[in-house]
Structure 1
Amino acid sequence: MVYWIKELMEIFSDIFDKIINPIFAQPSFILGVVTLVGLIALKKPFAELIKGTTKTIIGVLLLQNGSGLMVSMFRPIIFGFTERFQIAGVIIDPYITLSAVTDALGEKLGWVGFTMLIGFGVNILLVVFRKYTHLHSLFLTGHVMFLQSALITWIVYYYFGSDMGATVIIAGILIGLYWSIGAQMNAKPTQIINKGVGFTVAHQQHLMNWFAWKVSPFLGNPEKSIEKIKFPAWLDEFKKVEVSVPMVMFIIFTPLLVMLGSESIQELSGMESWILYIPLVAISFGAYMMIMNLGIGMFVSELSEAFKGVSQKILPDAVIGVDGMALAPYAPNAVIAGFLVCALGQLSGVVILVIMNSPILIIPSFIPVFFDAAITAVFADTFGGWKALVVISFLVGLIHIFGSLWAAGNSGLVGGWMGNSDWATIWPLIMEGMKLISPIR
């Protein structure tokens, strides 16, 4: 009897080592399985099960490959900058951060899928018991959920060094609470902006959106909205990622690379023409981001359908949390103005860091300026007009720089930080709390 039990245990051990463990090490397969389970729960036909699972796996692989290309492009630049000036360069961009997290977690990257699943479960539970929690908003911005789950998984592991079970449970609970409370904070003002359409903002700037709602009436007059001003049509080109991202990154990286000098650039790039390398970096950033966006779009569409379908069966009356850009059509001028003013705020912050000889230089990028500050600008303009928009958008730019400086020094990551305003305010504070109780930091 003992012999058979021993044989059975060895068989289970082999199955775990050769099948289950390799799957856990591959986030593409984990998220594929999560999608498959969700679609099965929705009783989807066999063809849709195959399509949804395959698209999820391919989408995550595209995301990982785009992330790897981005790392290979920018890591030498960051290290070159560090060696030359003895300061650490940190780019505030979610995808650069994902690349840094992917590198930091290594074989543990598969944990991210479990964090995301647990976080979503926490969000659902808090809405199920909304009579007691007063939380009725479901966070369903899939690509943001994945990015945030990856970062919080790393943060928890970095501070506690726990095994997979403890790490994903702690990270899942933390991110689930953030999704639930953050989306709920924005529910009431979002309903005013979208005139009761029935969704809330579920993104990465909940605190500043809430702040804009509360403070903007004291800064200006909502009757003097920037939407009453006619902007030139060419500014609409800023809304196209394939145009704006390379342009913004060219503006940012040109002075940085020039500071490195032609010899360093030639050594980094392996190209004789260092002048050609500068626009190539900017365009490559846009290309890699589009590869990652394609991958995210593929797996998020399937994963979100599974999540949303299951949640609607359980919680048909919940308020759905969506990407902040869903508010852009309600205030297109505010989006453009918020983008431009926040960029000035970020630039001012960088200048201050340079003057102060900061050991860490925060390098701006497109996403926090546009997909973060521009949405907060909609809240500011709606509740306080153009004056509130200018003040709050500039403030958000400064927060992006100085809050990220605070966070980056405690993150354990090389070269990147999320940058969006919640990750420059709420999360650095949480990380300080973790540091106080951490057994290893």
Structure 2
Amino acid sequence: MEVFADVLRFIATNIFNEVAILIGIITLIGLLLQRKPVEDVVAGALRATIGVIILFIGVDVFVQGLVAFQTIVASAVGLEPPEATNTLGDFLGTHGGTVALIITVGFFLHLLAVRLLDTRYVYLTGHLMFWISVITTAALVQVFGDVDQLTLVLVGSVVVAAYWTIQPLYIAPLMRRVTGGDEWGYGHTSSAACWMAGKIGPLVGSRERHDTERLRLPKQLSFFKDVNVSTALVIGVILIGAMIFADRGVIAEQAAAYDEEINPWVWGIIAALRFAAGIAILLFGVRMFLAEIVPAFKGVSEKLIPGSRPALDAPTVFPFAPTAVMIGFVAGTAVFLAFMGLFAALGLFVLVPPMIMLFFPGAAAAVFGNAFGGWRGAVIGGVINGTFLAVGQAVTWGMLSDTAPELATLADPDWYILIWAIMLIAAPLGALGEAAIWGVPAVVLAIFAGWLYFIKRRHPEPEAEIRGEAPFERPDTTGESEEDDGRK
């Protein structure tokens, strides 16, 4: 039994938690199932893997800037993060093995559900599989304490499998409007903000009149149409502005991490430029791996799980509206900072600006908002995400005080919803003892069945939804475009 558990942990750690390897294997299997020539199989699998590596290189480049940005903003407003009785590191030290087992068992349950229930989308955002499993484990342990590992694994696996199965499915109609097709689904824990942005977008604007990629600007400001230029300028202005009020020691420390000899103000400019460069690299990687995984997945769709599609990470929608990406980040950050000031003034909670979560979910929600309401919808998407993160952080920190409260500051919108839902279901059961934990998967499966029935009844076939309704020119996904900087 222990050997079997070790195998499952190995798979979770070295495949599901390594997105490039996971995508490469899926591409390889898909091409083999299509009986492609060996040269096409090798080249396609490697290109897909390299595309994901390039994507994460871009992420690493601008995440470094985001972390520095967060540190300087926190210093500028004099923030001290809230205290915790336990830490995420401690929690993973005691429950990391359980999390790995939940990922593996949950994914097999998810594949079974997609195959038997015809739910179409296979969740392939590997790093979020890890985090969803972490928050599920933390919420269950918070309520029921340290139940035996087997019970925790089985209960947690049902919860995560239900989420991975339903999440890409419920947002699929909106995703098809964003991409103008159904080659892949949206597999990311920002789906709640994206769904709300898509629903509210038409109430505030029109994609035909207000599309962010077709905004008319004065000739003198036309350079803002280049997403790289606009990103560098916007981030540069915000960062330099925060540096004016930040502690000089904090600024010097951040600059020295890049180059011990560089002037801090010059570093601020370089940091903004690197942020823009990171996004350009990210978009190139997205195009490259999509060009391989989408056609390769047809083998899986035809041979193993009929009619299935891959559900992929948030950056896969960025090329459809790169200007909206920056609008969503800026709008969400502004709203979060406003909440931060309000909460501090009222003595409610000390918010910590989570720049990575303000960027990815905010950018994706803005792309969805733009698809339905143009730039106004993009702003709404950012506002929704900023509000989610501010309120969610304040509410959720104390809920996980005995397990991993830092999860509240690392969270995307769906994390909060899932934590709240698990604890709402589990709270009345927790008073009945450890055995009552089996009531959690029972309730989750009942909700899952009802939601699935509603979706199947309400939503038309994909082909009926996407006929001639692509909101934008579909971006090149060959990885060979002359303009790989995010412009169309």
Q: Which range, TM-score by smaller chain?
A: 0.5 to 0.7
Is the 2:337–2:353 Cα contact (8 Å) retained in structure 1?
no
2:102 aligned with 1:115, yes or no? yes
- Structure 1's unaligned 5+ residue stretches are 1-11, 91-99
1:415-430 equivalent positions in 2, closer than 5 A: 417-430=409-422
Residues 432 and 256 from structure 1, CA distance in 2 versus in 1: closer, same or farther, beyond 3 angstroms?
A: farther
SS in structure 2 at match of 1:320: strand
Match of 2:82 in 1: 88
**3-state secondary structure, aligned to 2:208:** coil
Q: Contact 2:388 / 2:413 at 8 angstroms: preserved in 1?
A: yes
Structure 2 stretches lacking a partner, 5+ long: 435-488
Residue 307 of structure 2: aligned partner: 317
Query: Is the 8 Å Cα contact of residues 354 and 410 (structure 2) preserved in structure 1?
Result: no
Q: CA contact under 8 A between 1:221 and 1:385: conserved in structure 2?
A: yes
On the 8 A contact 1:187/1:199 being kept in 2, the answer is: no
Q: Which amino acid aligns with 2:426?
A: M
What is the DSSP-based 3-state SS (H/G/I as helix, E as strand, rest coil) of the residue aligned with 2:405?
Answer: coil
CA contact (8 A) 1:23 1:30 kept: no
Change (3 A) 1:380 1:316: same
Listed as ranges, the matches of 1:204-223 within 5 Å are 204-223=189-208
* Alpha-carbon distance between aligned partners in 1 of 2:298 and 2:234, rounded to the nearest angstrom: 31
Indicate whether 1:182 and 2:167 are aligned. yes
1:9 alignment counterpart = none
Alpha carbons of structure 1 residues 426 and 35: separation in structure 2 relative to 1, 3 Å? closer
CA deviation profile, 1:110-160 (whole Å, cap 9, x unmatched): 3322211222222222222225xxx22211122222332233233333334
Shift of 1:202: 0.7
TM-score, normalization by structure 1: 0.65
The count of residues paired between Structure 1 and Structure 2 equals 389
Is 1:140 matched with 2:127? no
Q: Is the 8 A contact 1:252 1:364 kept in 2?
A: no
- Equivalent position of 2:454 in the other structure: none
Q: Greater shift after overlay, 26-35 or 417-426?
A: 26-35
- Percent sequence identity is 22
The one-letter code of the counterpart of 2:307 is D
In structure 2, what is the Cα distance between the partners aligned to 1:89 and 1:253?
25
Q: Residue type matched to 2:99 in 1?
A: V
Secondary structure of 2:317's match?
helix
Distance 1:89 1:336 in 2: 32
Task: Give the Cα separation in 2 of the matches to 1:262 and 1:403.
Answer: 31
Per the alignment, residue 188 of structure 2 pairs with 203
Asked if the contact 2:16/2:127 (under 8 Å) is kept, the reply is no
Report how far residue 183 of structure 1 moved: 0.4
1:179 and 1:26 map into 2 onto residues whose CA distance is 15
Q: Could you tell me how far apart the structure 2 residues matched to 1:323 and 1:347 are?
A: 26
Q: Does 1:389 align with 2:383?
A: no
CA shift in 2, pair 1:428/1:20, >3 Å: closer
Cα distance in structure 1, aligned partners of 2:172 and 2:365: 14
Letter in 2 for 1:428: W
User: How far apart are 1:356 and its partner, in Å?
Assistant: 1.3
Contact 2:344 2:350 in 1 (8 A): no
Match of 1:129 among 105, 113, 116: 116
| Cα distance per residue 1:297-354 (max 9 Å; x no partner) | 9xxx9xx999998776420311221112211222222222122211111111111111
Aligned-partner residue type, residue 351 of structure 1:
G
Decide whether aligned partners of structure 1 residues 150 and 229 sit closer, same or farther in structure 2, where only a CA change above 3 A counts: same
Distance 1:415 1:207, change over 3 A: closer
Deviation digits for residues 57-87 of structure 1 (CA, Å, limit 9, x no counterpart): xx9xx99xx9xxx9xx99xx9xx99xx9886
> What's the offset of the Cα at 1:396?
2.2
Q: 1:119 to 1:344 in 2, by over 3 A?
A: same
- Offset of 1:417 from its aligned partner? 2.8
Aligned to 2:142: 158
* Other-structure match for 2:358: 369
Check 1:23–1:387 CA distance in 2 against 1; reply closer, same or farther (3 A cut).
closer
> What CA RMSD, in Å, does the superposition of the two structures yield over aligned residues?
5.6
CA distance in 1, matches of 2:328, 2:11: 41
Distance in structure 1 (CA, Å) of the matches to 2:8 and 2:195: 43
